[in-house]
A and B are shown apart, each in its own frame.
Chain A
Amino acid sequence: MKRFLFAVAVLTAVCSCHAVAAALSPFESETWSIPANGVDTRILAVLKQKGIDPAYPCSDEVFIRRLYLDVIGTLPEPSGVPGFLQDDRPGKRARLIDDLLERKEYADYWTLKWCDLLRVKAEFPINLWPNAVQAYHRWIWNSVKKNRPYDEFARELLTSSGSNFRVPPVNFYRAVQSPEPPALAEAVALTLMGSRVGSWPADRRDGMAAFFSRVAFKGTDEWKEQIVQCDPAKRDPFKALLPDGTTGRVEAGVDPRVTFANWLITPENPWFTRSIVNRLWAWLLGRGIIHEPDDIRPGNQPVNPELLSYLQQELVGARYDLKHVFRLILNSRTYQQSSIARGRQEEAEALFACYSIRRLDAEVLVDALDWLGGRGQNYESRIPEPFTWIPEEQRTIELADGSITSTFLMMFGRPPRDTGLESERSTDATDAQRLFMLNSTDVYNRISRSLRLRRITMAAGGDRVKLVRGLYMTLLSREPTMAEQTKAESYWQNSKSGSNEAATDLAWALINSMEFMYRH
C-alpha cells in the first residue's frame, strides 16, 4: 500500500512537469543498472534459502552520498552531484568508485580507521607521545595512500625494530598498555587475527605470548625516544605452541616475531585473511560476516561462510590488494541496496538483505558541519610536550592524535583508542547528541553564519523553488520531491518570522533529519 502511494505521488509529480526524479521514493530505484557479482551470488543463495527478499536498488542520489561517506568520509560537493545523476552512460557507479578510491581523502579516512585499531594517541594509557604519533600516522597514511599489499603492511607492523620516532611501525608494540608478552600477544591477536585471546585455551595463549617474550624496550638520550627491538641477549632456540595448535620452532638467533609472522602471513593461514576481509566488509556494510568483527572464535560463526571464503580467496588472488576487495564489495548489488528492508529490518540487516543505517562517524559529522559553517575546529593540546596546534583548515578525519580533547568528538562517540576494539567507536544516538544538534548555539551559528548557505540564498534571489532546491542539493545531495518542495515553501507562507529565519529553519530541519545524520 505504501509503495502504491509513492507511485501516485510520482505520477502527480511527473504530471506537474517538475524536475523531480522519477523514483519509488527518493531512496530506491526500480531496476538494477549493474550486474550481480560474486558477492551477490553468495548473498542471494543464503537469502533464497531463508526466504528473504533483498531490498530494492538504492537510487543514484542515495548511492553518491553513501559512497562518498563510506569511502572518503566526506559529503559530496553539491556541484558534482547533478553531473553524476544526469550521466546516463553505463558503468557510472563503477567509475565513481574508482575515482573515490584514488582521492586523498580515501587515505585520510582509512588511516583514521587504522589509527583506531592501532591505538594511535599521544596520551594515557598508550603514551606514544606527540612525535611518535605524527610519525606513526604518517607511515600508516603513506601505506594506505600507496595501497601497500596488506601482507607487507602487517609484516612490517609485526617485525620492525628501531626508534619510535624513526621507524614508525615499531609503535605497534608501544601502543599497548602493558609491555608484557601476554599483553603484546593480545594486541597482535586482536589487530591482525580479529580474535580476543580471552576466548582461547590457556596453552594457546601462553604459546602465543612466547613469540613476543623477547620484545625489548630501551631508552635513548633523546627525550621520549625508545628503541623497540628483539632482546639481543636472548638467542637460544625454543619451541612454542601457535594459535592453530601446531608447534612453532624459533631457531637460534632468530627474532621470534619473525617466526610468528611467517606462520601468520601465508595464503594458507585462514586467520590472517579472514580477519581483514571481514573487517573491510564490516566497515562498508556496518556489520561483519562474523560479528563483531574482532570476536572471531569457534562459537561465533559467519552468517555467510561461502562469502567469507570467497573474499579471502579474492584477496590472496589479488596479492593482498585491499582495494581489490573494496571494489568487489562496492560494485556489488549487495552494497548498492536500499536501506529500506522488504522484510523484518533486523533480520535483513543481519543477512545483508539491505544496507545498514548508521550515524556518521563523529569526525565525519564534525567535518560536515565545519564544511557547512565555513570554519574549522582549532584543535590543540598543550599537554604533553611538544604541544600540538592543528591549523583550522585541517579536517578532523586527518587528525592523527586520538588524545586531542574535543567535547564534540567525545559526545559523538569517537573511540578513546584504549584497547583497539571496534566497539570502542560508538554511533549510538544519545540525549546529549540530540540536544546538541537540535538546539546548540554551535549548530545555530554554523547555519545562520554559513557563507555556503548565504550564497544559495543570494543565487536564488527570492525564488523559493530555487532556494529549496539549493538547500536540498547542498545538504542532502538530491533534489526535493514534489511533496517536500510544497511543504518547505508553505513554511515561508506560515512563518511569522522573516524570510531569512525561515531559510535558516529549513536548513536546520534538513541537518536534523535522519537522512543528513545517517549513512543510509
Chain B
Amino acid sequence: MTRREMQKRMLLGAAGLAAAHHMPAFAQPATPVATAKAVIQIWMWGGPPHIDTFDPKPDAGYDYCGPFNRPIDTNVPGMQIGQLLPQLAQQADKYSIIRSMTHGNNGHETASYIVQTGHKPGGRLVFPSLGAIVSKFKGYDTGYSSLIPPYVVLTQSQGRFDPAGFFGPRYKPFVTGGDPNASRFAVEGVVSGNISDERQKSRRELLHSLDSLKQALPEHPVSMKLGSLEDKAYEMILGDAGKLFDLSTEDNELRQRYGRNRFGQSCLMARRLVGAGVPFVTINYGGWDTHKQHFQSMRTKLPQMDAAMATLLQDLKDHGLLDSTIVWWSGEFGRTPKVAWPAPWNGGRHHFGQCFSALLAGGGFKGGKVIGASDATGEKVAERPVYPPDLLGSICERMGINPDESLPNRRGMELKVMASGEEFGEGGGRLTEIV
C-alpha cells in the first residue's frame, strides 16, 4: 500500500472500508507475504508438446499420440505423465501441472511476449518480462547487493522481444554465454581461465597508466563511472563471486545425475545461483520447435529434460531450497496434438496456443495437483482456463510482489504489473488451488 492510499483509508475510516469493495482503487490487495525468494524459469524455447509431456491422451489414437501412447503413473495416485519422463514421475509430489494454459496465439514472438509478460500485445508499450519485474522489485532497487546480477539467463538470450520492456536497460538480464557442461564454464567477463591473478593485476595497472583520456578528465562523470565499474568488475574477477560458476567443485555423481549436457548442467548452475541469493534465473532451453520429425527429437530431448528437471527438484529439496524457490516450466505455447504425418513434416507438430501445459513447483506452491483439463484430444481447454497473467500473477504473489500494483513509467499511464485474466477470456483467475 502506498502512503497516499494509507492516508486515504485512514481518512475514510470504517465507513470507507465498508464501501471499499465497490471501489476498484481500494480493492487492491496489500503486498502479499512472500513465500518464495527465487524463481527458476525453465523456458522451453520453441514450444514443447503438451501431449507428449504433461498432458498425455492415450485414448486419442495414433494420429495424436504417434508412438507415445503409454503414459506412466507418478508417485501421486491418479496423476499420469508422458512415458519418456520416468524420473519426473517420481517427483510429481513436488510439482503441479496446469493442463489448461491458453492464449490462442501461434506466433513465437507474440506468444513469447504474452507468456513471459502476462500482457496482450498491442497498446503502445512493451511490458517487462517476469524476470525484469522480479529484478525491479527484488533487485538493486530494493537492497539487493550481491555482485551476481539479480536476473541471470543461462546461457543465451531468449530474444524475440526486449525483456526489460519499458523498464529500460537497467533491468535487462545478465546473459552468461559459455557452456556449463564444458570443462570450464566460461561465463563471459566473469571467468577467464587463461589469465593468472597476477597477470590480471599487472595488466590492470598497465590500463591505469595508459588510460590517458581518463587521466585528462579525472572529474568527468564517465571517468568516475568507468572507475567504479572497474573496481566492481575486479572484485568479481579476482574475488569469490566467480567461483560460484565453477561447477567442478560439485560432486561428480550429482553432475552425472543432472546429465552431462548443457541443459542438465544449467539446472545445476541454477540451483547454485538461487542458493547464492539470485532471485531470478532463466534457463533458456532451445530446440522444441519440432515441425519435422518430432518423435525422433523427443526420444533424445525428453530423457535429457527428465533427468535434469527431476534432479533439480530433488537437489533443491536436499539443499533446503525448494520451499523458497519456484520452478516454472513453460514454453510460449504447446504443439498441435494432431500429428502432421505427410512430407515435408514426416511426423511433426506445429504451434499451438489454444491449449497447452505449464508446470509449477516449490516456493509455496503445492505439489501433486493437476489444475484444469484439456478435452479428449488436448486441443481445447475443457475445464478451468488459466491465462498467462493468472500464472505469472500467482508467481508474483509468492514472491511478495503485488500483481495489481501500478508500474512506474515515463508516460504516466496506469499500468499494472500483470494484466487481468479477464482481458484474455472468462473463467480464469490466480492459482488459489495450489497455494
Q: Within the complex, what minimum Cβ distance (angstroms) separates A48 from chain B?
A: 24
- B230 neighbours in A (Cβ, 8 Å): 434, 438
| Partner-binding segment picked from A80-88, A155-163, A229-237, A488-496 | A488-496
Q: How far apart are the CA atoms of A407 and B189 in the complex, in Å?
A: 13
| Partner-binding segment picked from B200-208, B373-381, B426-434 | B200-208
Assuming the contacts A509-B206, A513-B210, asked whether A357 and B217 have C-beta atoms less than 8 A apart, the reply is: yes
- B159 in the interface (beta carbon within 8 A): yes
Q: How far apart are the CA atoms of A383 and B236 in the complex, in Å?
A: 36
- A164 in the interface (beta carbon within 8 A): no
| Partner-binding segment picked from B219-227, B259-267, B270-278, B304-312 | B219-227
Contact with A along B226-265 (1 / 0, CB 8 A): 1001101110110000000000000000000000000000
What is the chain A residue whose CB lies nearest that of B153? A407
Assuming the contacts A434-B230, A513-B207, asked whether A357 and B220 have C-beta atoms less than 8 A apart, the reply is: yes
- A407 neighbours in B (Cβ, 8 Å): 156-157, 175, 177, 188
- A33 in the interface (beta carbon within 8 A): no
The answer to whether A416 and B213 touch across the interface, beta carbons within 8 angstroms, is no
Assuming the contacts A183-B124, A484-B212, A487-B209, asked whether A439 and B237 have C-beta atoms less than 8 A apart, the reply is: yes
The answer to whether A429 and B177 touch across the interface, beta carbons within 8 angstroms, is no
Q: Which positions 131-169 of chain B face chain A at CB distance < 8 Å?
A: 149, 156-162, 165-166, 168-169
Q: How far apart are the CA atoms of A65 and B243 in the complex, in Å?
A: 40
- A25 neighbours in B (Cβ, 8 Å): 212, 216
- A506 neighbours in B (Cβ, 8 Å): 206, 210
Residue from A123, A405, A419, A514 in contact with B214 in the complex, judged by beta carbons closer than 8 Å: A514
Q: How far apart are the CA atoms of A381 and B198 in the complex, in Å?
A: 41
Q: How far apart are the CA atoms of A410 and B121 in the complex, in Å?
A: 21
The answer to whether B233 and A434 touch across the interface, beta carbons within 8 angstroms, is yes
What is the chain A residue whose CB lies nearest that of B156? A407
Contact with A along B111-138 (1 / 0, CB 8 A): 0110000000111111000000000000
The answer to whether B412 and A198 touch across the interface, beta carbons within 8 angstroms, is yes
Contact with A along B262-295 (1 / 0, CB 8 A): 0000000000000000000000000001000000
Q: Which positions 48-68 of chain B face chain A at CB distance < 8 Å?
A: none
Question: How many of chain B's residues have a CB under 8 angstroms from any CB in A?
Answer: 69
- A12 in the interface (beta carbon within 8 A): no
- B2 in the interface (beta carbon within 8 A): no
- B174 in the interface (beta carbon within 8 A): yes
- A127 in the interface (beta carbon within 8 A): yes
The answer to whether B122 and A178 touch across the interface, beta carbons within 8 angstroms, is yes
What is the chain A residue whose CB lies nearest that of B286? A382
Q: Within the complex, what minimum Cβ distance (angstroms) separates B141 from chain A?
A: 15
Assuming the contacts A410-B157, A430-B229, asked whether A177 and B122 have C-beta atoms less than 8 A apart, the reply is: yes
- A252 in the interface (beta carbon within 8 A): no
The answer to whether B213 and A418 touch across the interface, beta carbons within 8 angstroms, is no
Q: How far apart are the CA atoms of A403 and B112 in the complex, in Å?
A: 13
Q: How far apart are the CA atoms of A410 and B207 in the complex, in Å?
A: 26
- B225 neighbours in A (Cβ, 8 Å): 429
Q: How far apart are the CA atoms of A488 and B209 in the complex, in Å?
A: 9
Assuming the contacts A384-B107, A410-B172, asked whether A509 and B203 have C-beta atoms less than 8 A apart, the reply is: yes
The answer to whether A177 and B169 touch across the interface, beta carbons within 8 angstroms, is no
Residue from A198, A339, A505 in contact with B217 in the complex, judged by beta carbons closer than 8 Å: A339
Q: How far apart are the CA atoms of A501 and B206 in the complex, in Å?
A: 13
| Partner-binding segment picked from A34-42, A90-98, A320-328, A440-448 | A440-448
Assuming the contacts A123-B161, A430-B229, A497-B199, asked whether A440 and B207 have C-beta atoms less than 8 A apart, the reply is: no
Q: Which positions 403-447 of chain A face chain B at CB distance < 8 Å?
A: 403, 405-407, 410-411, 413, 416, 418-419, 426, 428-442, 444
- B207 neighbours in A (Cβ, 8 Å): 508-509, 512-513
- A515 in the interface (beta carbon within 8 A): yes
- A481 neighbours in B (Cβ, 8 Å): 212
The answer to whether A491 and B206 touch across the interface, beta carbons within 8 angstroms, is yes
Q: Within the complex, what minimum Cβ distance (angstroms) separates A253 from chain B?
A: 31
The answer to whether A515 and B212 touch across the interface, beta carbons within 8 angstroms, is yes
What is the chain B residue whose CB lies nearest that of A417? B162
Q: How far apart are the CA atoms of A428 and B198 in the complex, in Å?
A: 30
Residue from B107, B189, B200 in contact with A440 in the complex, judged by beta carbons closer than 8 Å: B189
Q: How far apart are the CA atoms of A340 and B237 in the complex, in Å?
A: 32
- B5 in the interface (beta carbon within 8 A): no
- B76 in the interface (beta carbon within 8 A): no
Residue from B124, B172, B222 in contact with A429 in the complex, judged by beta carbons closer than 8 Å: B222
- A435 neighbours in B (Cβ, 8 Å): 188-190, 233, 236-237
The answer to whether A186 and B222 touch across the interface, beta carbons within 8 angstroms, is no
Q: Within the complex, what minimum Cβ distance (angstroms) separates B423 from chain A?
A: 15
- A515 neighbours in B (Cβ, 8 Å): 211-214
Contact with A along B398-413 (1 / 0, CB 8 A): 0000000000000110
- A518 in the interface (beta carbon within 8 A): yes
- B9 neighbours in A (Cβ, 8 Å): none
Contact with A along B302-333 (1 / 0, CB 8 A): 00000000000000000000000000000000
Q: How far apart are the CA atoms of A433 and B222 in the complex, in Å?
A: 14
Q: How far apart are the CA atoms of A405 and B161 in the complex, in Å?
A: 9
- B159 neighbours in A (Cβ, 8 Å): 381, 403, 405
The answer to whether B124 and A178 touch across the interface, beta carbons within 8 angstroms, is yes
The answer to whether B189 and A436 touch across the interface, beta carbons within 8 angstroms, is yes
Q: Within the complex, what minimum Cβ distance (angstroms) separates B192 from chain A?
A: 5
- B110 in the interface (beta carbon within 8 A): yes
The answer to whether B161 and A440 touch across the interface, beta carbons within 8 angstroms, is no
- B366 in the interface (beta carbon within 8 A): no
The answer to whether B198 and A496 touch across the interface, beta carbons within 8 angstroms, is yes
The answer to whether B160 and A124 touch across the interface, beta carbons within 8 angstroms, is yes
The answer to whether A510 and B210 touch across the interface, beta carbons within 8 angstroms, is yes
- B109 in the interface (beta carbon within 8 A): yes
- A497 neighbours in B (Cβ, 8 Å): 199
Q: How far apart are the CA atoms of A431 and B172 in the complex, in Å?
A: 12
The answer to whether A177 and B124 touch across the interface, beta carbons within 8 angstroms, is yes
- B126 neighbours in A (Cβ, 8 Å): 124-125, 177, 416, 418-419
Q: Within the complex, what minimum Cβ distance (angstroms) separates B241 from chain A?
A: 10
- B20 in the interface (beta carbon within 8 A): no
- B165 neighbours in A (Cβ, 8 Å): 418
The answer to whether A27 and B188 touch across the interface, beta carbons within 8 angstroms, is no
- A66 in the interface (beta carbon within 8 A): no
Q: What 10 A-B pairs are tightest by C-beta distance, nearest first?
A: A435-B189, A405-B159, A416-B162, A124-B109, A123-B109, A434-B229, A515-B213, A509-B207, A505-B203, A440-B188
Some 25 contacts from A to B, beta carbons below 8 A apart, are A123-B109, A124-B109, A177-B122, A198-B411, A340-B216, A345-B219, A382-B289, A383-B289, A410-B157, A413-B169, A419-B124, A435-B237, A436-B189, A438-B230, A439-B192, A441-B188, A494-B202, A496-B198, A505-B203, A505-B206, A508-B207, A509-B207, A514-B222, A515-B212, A515-B213
B binding-site residues for A, Cβ under 8 Å: 107-110, 112-113, 121-126, 149, 156-162, 165-166, 168-170, 172, 174-175, 177-178, 186, 188-190, 192, 194-195, 198-200, 202-203, 206-207, 209-214, 216-217, 219-223, 225-226, 229-230, 232-234, 236-237, 289, 411-412
Knowing that A359-B222, A431-B233 are A-B contacts, what are 9 other residue pairs whose CB atoms are under 8 Å apart, sorted by A's residue number?
A: A340-B217, A384-B109, A426-B168, A432-B189, A435-B189, A491-B202, A509-B210, A512-B207, A518-B213
